[in-house]
Structure 1
Amino acid sequence: MSQHDQPTDDAETGHLVYIDGPESVEFREYEVPSPEPNAVVTEVEQTNVCGSELHVWRGDHPLMDCVLGHEAICRISELGEKVETDSAGQPVEEGDLIAPVYFQTCQHCEFCRRGEFYRCANDYEYAGESPDVWPHFHAPWGTHYYVHSTQNFYKLPEELEETPGVAAAANCALSQVMFGLNETGIEYGDTVVVQGAGGLGLNATAYANERGAETIVIEGVDTRLERAEEFGADHTIDFREYDTVEARAERVRELTDGSGADVAVEVAGVPEAFDEGIELLRTGGRYLEMGNVRPGHDIDFDPGKLVRKSIDVTTAVEYDPWVLYDALEFLANTKDKYPYENLLDAEYPLRDVETALEESENREVTRATLVPQGN
């Protein structure tokens, strides 16, 4: 037992959600840790059910024997003795609302040394740990969350303090698509096709709009198509109406003067969508692949199509940590323009996490949020 694990009298305890196998979750209780000098202990205000958690819950993801969750807004309950500011140099104190980056950048691996922080080889060193390992609260599906010294975190802008739920997904969906689209070299006047209108797709649509792009969203669920329009989609394509790849590609060409889109973004999480995306792009187009994060799902693919069209492919599974700061500023500046609050359409107390997972899996809700404190 390490010095961190020594029990203390009358210690505060918290609860967390632990997964030890497919569709097997349980609640665990642990002593709330005190922070190390450069760390922060928080209370979780709210945390979301993302598609990644559904993959883990189904056993369709490399993570297991861990605490669940990554999208969250937290309130500082105790600062390490050396922590005076957030990662942008903004002064912080106990009681402040923050958004933490859910992975670490270790600063010493090969990729961090190259400045490729979004590829850190040790990104999940803490998030993938068993909760039995101190400081226990490795992820935000719990009453508390421990922010390590190697994790960036940012204080919420004043404009978001009264509606913190708007920022709850910033450390995943919005930061991810902002980083990915920037990597493609998105430009004013580009035509951008978004494959899928879930949380990532809607955030991608809003960001592409603000960059001056014309946006086309492909979906097949009525509520998602409606929401895509609310998030500024210039055009929507219902794949129930355009029910073949050829029909959807032809429709994109009709909307782009016969050439195809400049940029396509795959956020449907369906392997077949990658093959389709090549058909939607113009020669010399750029393709951003983000939705297919699960290894082991194969499709037949003709690489010659990719080469003959000179398509540039960018993949992104994380982002440089300071992008979260930009994402929060983006939300603060556009919160009255897009209905971000509607992205979270169901709220559950933490104790009802299994219901939240089941209803999310069955697509009875678009995005569920868990409210841990007081439950």
Structure 2
Amino acid sequence: MLENKEHLYEDAVLVGVVTQNQDEDKLTEYLDELEFLALTAGATVVKRFTQKLTQPDPKTFIGSGKAQEVRDFVKENNIGTVIFDDELSPSQLKNLEREIEVKILDRTNLILDIFAQRAQTSYARTQVELAQYQYLLPRLTRMWTHLERQKGGIGMRGPGETEIETDRRIIRDRISLLKEKLKTIDRQMATQRNNRGKVVRAALVGYTNVGKSTLMNAISKSEVFAENKLFATLDTTVRKVVIGNLPFLLTDTVGFIRKLPTQLVESFKSTLDEVREADLLIHVVDISHESFEDHIESVNQILMEINAHQKPMIMIFNKIDGFTYVKKAEDDLTPETRENISLDEWKKTWMSKSKYPTVFISALKKENFEEMKKLIYDEVLKIHISRFPYNDFLFEYYDNDPE
């Protein structure tokens, strides 16, 4: 096992199914993402198991033969954790733990665990704790009794084993208490938003790990935590930004993800309120990711669910420095090469013809930043002019950033 400063990496296997609604290519893509989630949580993925089913088995999600195959492998290789790509029902979870006899996690539990690791402030920890208890409540009967010798690790952070053994009434009381605590904080944060004055508010939105925090740091010259892992940012960060001579507020929000647990959508209401109440959405996309179109669709779906999909929006396609394509050789003797696409070529793609203002950048290398800042400036100014008396201000764009 690999060791880092915080904990030992756990060996784990992944399990997913091919169904009528999810073909092999889509499953591979989801399992790639699940493996990245597992790595972020602190696991090393040893093997993947897949199965074709008309629909998941209501008792064990996978068939009995596949469950036995997984059981044999984890036993022979001393694997401690099996992670399923979809959310398991309480009965499926209980049956699988009885059948395979190791710790069973699903995608929801894994994401909640990552959130538990990443939460830094009291507010974020309260949000995560509420989501964990809501997930835990219908699953109290399992109690992982056969795993009492194993302490800690993925899926064991947050409420923990002591609370798992408490009764439902105490858990419900705790959920009620946390909800009241969040309501109080939400009211305080709503007051803070109202007290920000007559300044246009822009919010960075996008799939997790697309570079929002790196972009936030570059635009606002702040030190927001940024890392090449999923959900590096949980706590909402608001910074005052001035482009040209036009001030506005820029908010960095938690990244979205496919199959986002409903418990988190509810718990992170205030974070999503920052998106709902923003005047302008800056949708950041990782253009180097092969599934960036699906990521755009996932973000748009969540924006629709929180009724924020009709807001003015800018599309920023980030990480153009990380996108490469295979250039075929002119003859059989010359090897193929991987090359980047030039900025002019990006501007000729279908992405540039979006219904929203669009720009292509590299936040890491600050490539094409001047065009991006001018675009943001123009959109913020439109909102400012429409909302506030124009004769109070006369804005003329200029670059005041010596970099």
Say which structure is richer in helix. 2
Structure with the largest fraction of strand: 1
Looking at both structures, which has the greater relative contact order when contacts are Cα pairs under 8 Å and sequence separation is at least 6? Answer: 1
Q: Which of these two proteins has the greater Rg computed from alpha carbons?
A: 2
Give me the TM-score of the superposition, normalised by structure 2. 0.25
